[in-house]
Copies of this chain bind each other. A is one copy, B any other.
Amino acid sequence: MLNNKEKTVQNEEFSGRVSDENLRVLTGYNMKRAFNAVQADLLQTLRPFGLRMITYSALVLIVDNPGLRQSHLSVALAVERPNLVVIIDELERRDLIARERLMSDRRAYGLRATLEGRQLYEKAVRAVTEHETKIFGNMDGVTVKQLIAELREIEIKAKGNVK
Does any Cβ of B come within 8 Å of A94's Cβ?
A: no
Which B residue's beta carbon lies closest to that of A32? B35
The binding surface of chain A is classed by DSSP as: helix
Q: Chain B nearest CB: distance from A81 CB in Å?
A: 14
Chain A stretch 1-57: residues in CB contact (< 8 A) with chain B: 1, 5-14, 18-42, 44, 53, 57
A61 with B20, Cβ < 8 A, contacts A34-B158, A99-B6, A146-B142 known: yes
Copies in the complex: 2
- Determine if A60 and B22 form an interchain contact, defined as CB atoms under 8 angstroms apart: yes
Q: Which of B12, B85, B89, B140 touches A153 (beta carbons < 8 Å)? A: B140
- Determine if A38 and B31 form an interchain contact, defined as CB atoms under 8 angstroms apart: yes
Does any Cβ of B come within 8 Å of A126's Cβ?
A: no
Does any Cβ of B come within 8 Å of A157's Cβ?
A: yes
A34 with B31, Cβ < 8 A, contacts A65-B18, A150-B147 known: yes
Q: Given A22-B125, A28-B42, A32-B39, 17 more contacts at CB 8 Å?
A: A1-B99, A6-B101, A11-B67, A11-B110, A14-B67, A19-B64, A27-B132, A27-B147, A28-B132, A30-B148, A30-B152, A30-B155, A32-B35, A34-B151, A38-B154, A134-B161, A139-B150
